[in-house]
Amino acid sequence: MSPRPLSFILAAALVASVVAAGFGAAESRAADDATPVGLPAFAGVQDLEVEALVDHRQGVMRAVSGHMAASAAILLDGAPFEDRISVHGAALAGLLADVPSLFPEGSAHDESDARPEIWEDSGTFSERAQDTEQRAAAFGEATQGGNAMEMTQAFISLGDSCGACHDSFRF
């Protein structure tokens, strides 16, 4: 067998790679069809936006729970950081100032625990969210004053509102 010219080999390699790429794309599209919100291989711009929204709100929620855990340690278990409780109070009031904005229409996602009821029953959702906003603001204010009893009550009341919302709107 005579050796093939180099140009023939290069052309064949090009054809092969185009075919392979086409096949790969078709395959990934098929996979996307099967799970419309499943990502990551060839995510469209919109998918990336949703991902970013989900990353952001999950980050905010983790921050909220971190401040809640720290506040509990101070207020309920006597960790000696009373002088810093107002930091947590202000952070919670700020992070929870507008909960519905964290859940824009169309931000449901496979990786998210948000229930569709958030958008289907947005009336109840905003009611609960408002409840949380007000209680977070009240806790923030209480931590400025430094009265232990008031702070603890405001803290527990805020926690109740977290659970009430998760009960109906989180998987």
**Tokens 């909960």 belong to residue:** 99
Shortest Å, Cβ 99 to another protein: 14
Which amino acid is it at 46? Q
Shortest Å, Cβ 155 to another protein: 9
**Tokens 């090009």 belong to residue:** 14
Shortest Å, Cβ 3 to another protein: 57
Which is closer to another protein, CB of 43 or CB of 94? 94
- As to burial, measured by CB atoms within 10 angstroms (0-12 exposed, 13-18 middle, 19+ buried), residue 60 is middle
Shortest Å, Cβ 143 to another protein: 16
Q: Which residues make up the interface to another protein (CB under 8 A)?
A: 64-70, 72, 76-77, 156, 159-160, 162-170
**Tokens 């209480």 belong to residue:** 142
Tokens representing 46 are 């919109």
Which is closer to another protein, CB of 86 or CB of 157? 157
Which is closer to another protein, CB of 32 or CB of 86? 86
Report the distance separating Cα 169 and Cα 171, nearest Å: 7
